[in-house]
Structure formats: structure tokens, C-alpha cells
Structure 1
Amino acid sequence: MKKSSALVPLIVSLILLPCTASAQNSVTIYGIIDTGVQYLGNTPNGHIVSMESGDLVPSRWGLRGTEDLGGGTSVIFQLESGFSSTNGALGCGIFCREAVIGVTNPVWGTFRAGRIGGYELQNDSFSTDPQLMNIFGVSTLVRGRNWTYASNTLEYKTPTWHGLTVKGQYDLTNNTSFNSGNPGSGPGQLYGPQGRSDGIELSYQHGPAYLLVIYDEIRSASGQFDNVYQNSRSILAGGTYNIGPVTMYGGFQHLSAPQASAEGYFANTGAAPTTLKEGTGLPTAVDQEWIGARWNITPAAAVMAAVYHTNANHGNGNANLWTLGGTYSLSKRTYLYSEVSLVTNSKTSNIGLDDGYSDPYGANRNDDPLSGPANTRTNPNFGGSQVGFVAGMVTHF
């Protein structure tokens, strides 16, 4: 109760700021609400029908503001909080999606500092995915690696020069060690603690073509690249090309964790032998490719289709993801969406239709004779397939 009481005057005071702002200054309240119903088949305990928040775009609300300093320079800030529209709970604490302040100028660019949160560079990869930020898409086969978060961030973005824009991020560890971080300073990837992380992004727009290249690295709290799906290096290249009402999509992503260890994947070393498929080792590299298209049938209706493929080294096999989705706009701010997907795995792979939070790397317990059948995972067993369907509504305010 004390925490809730303390937040009320803060939020109220922020909302009232526009009342005292001059014509050159502004504060805007904004948000997105995404609520849908999801079906997942062939989980270890049968099928699941659930109500979900943010299956297409994360539900959120926030405040953004500017102060004109003159000469084209402005101070900017943004506070953003994620939440579940199914139960009203905060995603990871107040304003954990973003809490930044910065300065911008059309000549020399934009500098921001603070909690970048869900706007870590890798999240821009969704612009090369025909399914956008859908839960079944470019993040699925890499077990949520593209849903990265960042704290203590310094970010610089250039102006656009003849179609080219460069953006860089560097995340301080707030620690005496250059690479390792404070375990209490998270959340990082999948809301876990992280060490030093950084990255650079180049995007280029020319006529109907859009190209994107992103390099980022996220270290563990001990400063290691020890989990290819969480604490790893990533290089991603993708793009789109418009042909009338059709937009083509494609891309490639390589993940690398040369220091992969049991400690990086599991709670302790002793757990590793009972949670790995026989004949496999911890993956240190993963490759993903995808291709797809979005067809704007009418100004209100669109259909998206894509296929994704991934392969993990050290005997961890490969998987394919097939998706078909659609959106229909009811207005400029509100639209409906749906998607049906199928993932198929080779005999040593068990990737499921999720975003990495409930299907991290490792065996299902009912594939593990020592741990027994108890299982909370949603991904299929090794060599299995899984079908999923989601439908929902999104509104912006």
C-alpha cells in the first residue's frame, strides 16, 4: 500500500504538467492496449487456451515531453510502463520499459540517457519481420533473444543523411568491473541481470527499399557470453522492398556465445546432464533466416505470411516456423489481428511457439527420467511440433 500511495502523487503531478507548459513545451500521454486469446497445442501437458496481453504489440502507457531551448534544440524525456491488460499487473516495475532524458537537434542528432528498457537495439529487428512484433515471428526460433532490455544506457542517433541513419548504444555496468554488472541492476534479457552490453545499428531507406544491420552484445552479470539465447553476440541483417501493395521481407541473424557453460543456462552445473538431450552439448552458435511478405489488400486489411528456419550447433538440431496472419483496421487507432503458426523440430530440437520466457533452452521434464513428469514449460518435446493460434484487438491512445 505504501508503494501505491507514493506513486499516485507522482503520476498525478506528471499528468498535470501540460497545464503549466508554454506553447513551446509539451507533455503527451500515450498508450497501447493489446488483448487477445491464444491457443497452443502439443504442450507437455496438453493444449492451452489462454487470454493474453501483448501478443502483437506490448501493452503499455507512458508520457513523453519536450522543452524548446531555441535554435532547433530541444530537451526531451520519455517515461513508459508495460502492463498486462488481462490482470492490470505491471510488467517489470513502474517505467521499466523506458525512463530517459535527452537533447535533440535536427542538425547534429539525438542523445538520450537512462533506462532504454524495451528499446534496446535488437528490438528494431522487428521492422524486418512481416509479422512485426507478433509472438509468433522473428523472436520465436531464437527463444526471445530479440526481446532485449537495457539499463544505464547512453544512446546517440544521427540525423538521416541521404537515407542513412546510424544509432549506437552503450550500457554501463555501474560496477568496478568493466564487463560484469551488479546482479541487482537488472532486468536485462528476459528480465535477468546483465553485465556490459552495447551495439550499433545502420538503417538505409531509398525509394521502395529499406535495409537494416544491427550488431549488439549482451553479457551475463559475470561479464560472459555464456548463453547463446540470452548472453551473446548478435549480428542481424535484413530488409524490406515495396512492390505496389506488397512488401517483401527477409533477413539473417547469427548468435554467438563462445563461453557457453552449464552455469549460463541452468541454476547449477549438476542440473545440466539431466536437462540435455543425449548426444548434444551446449549450443555456442545459432543461425536464423526468414523470408515473407505483407499484402495490403485494402487500406484497412492486410495479410502476412512468412517462413523462418534456425539451426543450432553441437547437435541441437534445427527448426522451421510457418506463419500466416492478418490485420483489419476499424479506425486509425484500433485494429483486429490474428495469426496461425506451426513450428516443426528435428529430433534434438524442442523449440516452441513462445517468446523465450516459458520455453528457454533445455529439455522438458517429461523427457528427463531423473526429474519426473512435472513440467510448466509450453514447448513440445524433442522432435515434436506445435501449432498455435492467436486473435486479438489493439487500440492506441
Structure 2
Amino acid sequence: MKKLVIFLGVSPFLAVAANAQSSVTLYGIVTGNVTYSNNVQTAATANGGRPKGGAQIAQFDSGTSGLASSRWGLKGTEDLGGGLKAIFQLENGFSVNNGAIGQGGTEFGRHAWVGFNANRYGTLTLGRQGDTSVEFVSALIYGWYWGNLAIHPADYDNLNFTHRINNSIKYLSDSFNGFRFGGLYSLGGVAGNVTQNQFWSTGVSYTGGSFAIAASIINARNPNTSLYGTNANASATGNNLGSAGSATTPESNPIIAGFASAHTQQTVSVASTYTAGGAIFGVAYSSTQFRGLGSNGPLNTFNYSGSTTLSTVGASLRYQATPFLRLGASFDYTEGGSVGSKDGAKYEQVNLGAGYSLSKATELYVTGAYQHASGTDSLGRPAVAAIGYLTPSTTDKQVAVSAGVKHLF
């Protein structure tokens, strides 16, 4: 009886001690902005001519075209002793203008993973998460001011984290004298074919003083499913890369939509930055190959075969003008996507951005982009400008400006 009384007396303190070893953090970003574009399509044409439309548009969105998309999430950690911790992250994307769930209606579409951190031995996680190009390269390219208007055309290299990887196992090392490395593998889950729909990536980075550099390789088998088809509303048999549009709907991702039948997509990316005072200078390069076009017959609308490559080279300057004001500019040049005798498309884009901090949590911002296109796109049509996630233009030029407020919690 005495032992029972003692146990009951100290058990609340034991519970407090146990709870002190674990924590859960609620966090998020709420962004609202107005975006203006000088030219958007209203419908596509079937004869290879210019699409219909061309109207100006101003619209309110939830950061899709702004500095950052709205989200909320939970991060948790539990100390297991001996330097080992259990960790997890759940993150939901949403629209602040109508409350809709992002990532195609996937509840925790941005992150959903659990794993372990072992201090100097690194981190192992399992679930829905970003590939190594997002972990190592993206931060050096987009930084703190770019916004979603500045992504590479159609985000074909996934450096803006448009697509998450399902069913994945990821390892990230701790930093060793400035060096970090990691890898990810996603199981395809197809009976009798281990490599069908599989995805793997690997990356490395180095940071030393004012200099930083990172590189990554990602490889997706049947990318229409393993990379572009990972959201809840993705088509099981249709084209998840984009659309040629119709007499009543505009094109979607004409830069890559025609390559949905590829057997494999492989992307190599590298970026580097140098910091001098309040300025950060950056350069970047990415190259994506769509290999084995025509492997998925039903999606090979244009009877493509062989392979095609898209590559982007870019340069940027970011500047902290005052403790409250930051500015940035970048230029990207993309070319490729040629199939057969036709020259592929070329895209030249200039990006500008500025942010003014009202507090540690609240910032006003404005971003802008201009893109010029030429050549023939993946749909076999004269290339049209297509900035960020906006509806493509009817011509080879498009201008977009986004202004809004971002609040962290």
C-alpha cells in the first residue's frame, strides 16, 4: 500500500518530466496578394496557331503568385536518450482567399513524414517529402525574396518544390566542416516491377565563410506518375504534366505538357552564392532530360520518340539595403525541348523583388517578372510566354506583378 501511495504521489511529476522531453510546435505562413498579368489565354487552338484570349487580368490569390504560398504545420520532437530523437512534420497548404486545401486537395500535401535524428549521424525520415534538390540547391537559387513568379519555366526541375515525393525514405547528414550530403529513394509500389514509378535523388553542399555551393541529381521513372502525379487529385491514366487546352480552356504548362509519355526524367542542378556585406551574388544551372519519349503510348499525343533536354542558366543579386528593406534581381535563360527537326523553345526572363519588414513576423512585398519566348514548345506550337503558375500568354511576351503581405506565426 505504501508503494502504491508513493507511486501515485510521484506519478504526476514523472509525467511532467516525460513531457519535458518532447515538444510539438504549431507554425505557418499566411499570405495574401493581388497579381496583375498583361496577357492570358482564354482558350487554345487546334491548328497550331496562337491561342485565343490576350486579356489583361488582376486577381487575388493566396501567395501562389506571391512571395510564398500560405501554409500551416506541426513539427514534433521527442528525446529518446543517447542523442537520438524521434521527429515528425505535417504541413498543409491552403488558399487564404477561399479556404481551399492546396496540393490538389491533399490534406498534408506539403509535408507528411516521421523519422529519427541522431545528431552527428544525421537524419532519417519516411513519408511524403522533398527531394535532395529542394534540400540543397533551391535555397541558393530563390533565397528570401524571389517569389513564385520567378520559378524556372513550368518548374520543370522542381527547384521550387512544386512536387512532393510519396512513399520515400530520405537521409540527410549533419554538417562536417561545412559539407553536407543526402539521398532519397521512393518505392514505386508496382507488383512484379521494382523500378516502375521509382524515384531517387542525391545531393551535396558546402558552405564556408562567404561561399556556398550545392548540387543534386534526381531521377524519376514514369515521371507522369512518380513526380507529377503525387497529389490527391492526380490522374491515374491522364497527363499530369499539363494540357494542350481546348476551344474553351487555355493551355497548361505548354513548356513540358507534350513530354508526359517519357520513360524517365533526370535533372542535374547546381547553384552557388557569394556573400559580400549586405549583398549576395548567385549563379545557377539546371538541366532536365526527358528520356524514352513514347514509352507511355496513350500519352504520346504527338508521336514523339527519343529524348529531349531543357536547360536553364541564371544569375542573381540580393541586397539587404536596410534592416527593414531587401531588394533583388535575377535573369534566367532556358532553352531546349526540341523533338525531331523542330527547334526547341527559348525563354528569357527577368525577375525583380522587394520586401519591407514591418516586424519580425509581418512583411509587405512586391515582385515582378517579364518573359520572352521563341521557338517551338512541347505541344509543337509557336512558344508562348508562361510566367510562374499563371495562365500562359497568347503571345511570346508576358508581364506579371504581384504585391501583398506575408505573416509568419
Query: Normalised by the shorter chain, which TM-score bucket?
Result: 0.7 to 0.9
- The reply on whether 1:338 has 2:366 as its aligned counterpart is yes
The alignment's TM-score, normalised by the length of structure 1, stands at 0.77
Q: Distance between the aligned counterparts of 1:281 and 1:306, measured in 2?
A: 35
1:206 counterpart residue number: 208
C-alpha deviations, 1:115-140, integer Å up to 9, x for none?
Answer: 21xx2333343312256561122433
Backbone CA RMSD of aligned residues: 2.8
1:157 counterpart residue number: 172
Q: Distance between the aligned counterparts of 1:303 and 1:321, measured in 2?
A: 17
Q: How does 1:330-369 map to 2 (within 5 A)?
A: 330-348=358-376, 349-355=383-389
Amino acid across the alignment from 2:360: K
Q: Distance between the aligned counterparts of 2:359 and 2:222, measured in 1?
A: 44
- TM-fit CA distance, 1:221: 6.4
1:49 counterpart residue number: 58
- TM-fit CA distance, 1:386: 0.3
Q: Give the number of aligned pairs.
A: 333
C-alpha distance 290-215 of structure 1, shift in aligned 2 (>3 A): same
Q: Distance between the aligned counterparts of 2:284 and 2:355, measured in 1?
A: 22
- The reply on whether 1:101 has 2:114 as its aligned counterpart is yes
Q: How does 1:99-138 map to 2 (within 5 A)?
A: 99-116=112-129, 119-124=130-135, 125-130=137-142, 132=144, 134-138=147-151
- TM-fit CA distance, 1:387: 0.4
Contact 1:237 1:252 (C-alpha < 8 Å) held by counterparts: yes
- TM-fit CA distance, 1:249: 1.1
C-alpha distance 351-112 of structure 1, shift in aligned 2 (>3 A): same
Contact 1:329 1:336 (C-alpha < 8 Å) held by counterparts: yes
Q: Distance between the aligned counterparts of 1:394 and 1:346, measured in 2?
A: 35
2:285 counterpart residue number: 252
1:81 counterpart residue number: 92
Please give the secondary structure, in 1, of the residue aligned with 2:148: coil
- The reply on whether 1:322 has 2:324 as its aligned counterpart is no
Contact 2:188 2:226 (C-alpha < 8 Å) held by counterparts: no
Of structures 1 and 2, the larger Rg is shown by 2
- TM-fit CA distance, 1:73: 0.9
Q: How does 1:1-397 map to 2 (within 5 A)?
A: 22-44=19-41, 45=53, 46-54=55-63, 55-91=66-102, 92-116=105-129, 119-124=130-135, 125-130=137-142, 132=144, 134-140=147-153, 142-143=155-156, 145-146=158-159, 147-176=162-191, 177-180=193-196, 195-220=197-222, 229=256, 232-261=265-294, 268-269=299-300, 271-272=301-302, 284-314=308-338, 315-348=343-376, 349-355=383-389, 378-381=391-394, 384-397=396-409
Contact 2:349 2:372 (C-alpha < 8 Å) held by counterparts: yes
Amino acid across the alignment from 2:150: G
Amino acid across the alignment from 2:94: F
Amino acid across the alignment from 1:76: I
Q: Distance between the aligned counterparts of 2:36 and 2:56, measured in 1?
A: 7
Unaligned runs of at least 5 residues, structure 1? 1-17, 181-194, 274-279, 359-377
C-alpha deviations, 1:191-221, integer Å up to 9, x for none?
Answer: xxxx211101101100001101011112226
C-alpha deviations, 1:4-37, integer Å up to 9, x for none?
Answer: xxxxxxxxxxxxxx99961111111111111111
Contact 1:141 1:351 (C-alpha < 8 Å) held by counterparts: no
Amino acid across the alignment from 1:385: K
C-alpha distance 253-67 of structure 1, shift in aligned 2 (>3 A): same
Q: Distance between the aligned counterparts of 2:190 and 2:17, measured in 1?
A: 40
Please give the secondary structure, in 1, of the residue aligned with 2:331: strand
Please give the secondary structure, in 2, of the residue aligned with 1:127: helix
The alignment's TM-score, normalised by the length of structure 2, stands at 0.75
**Identity in percent:** 26
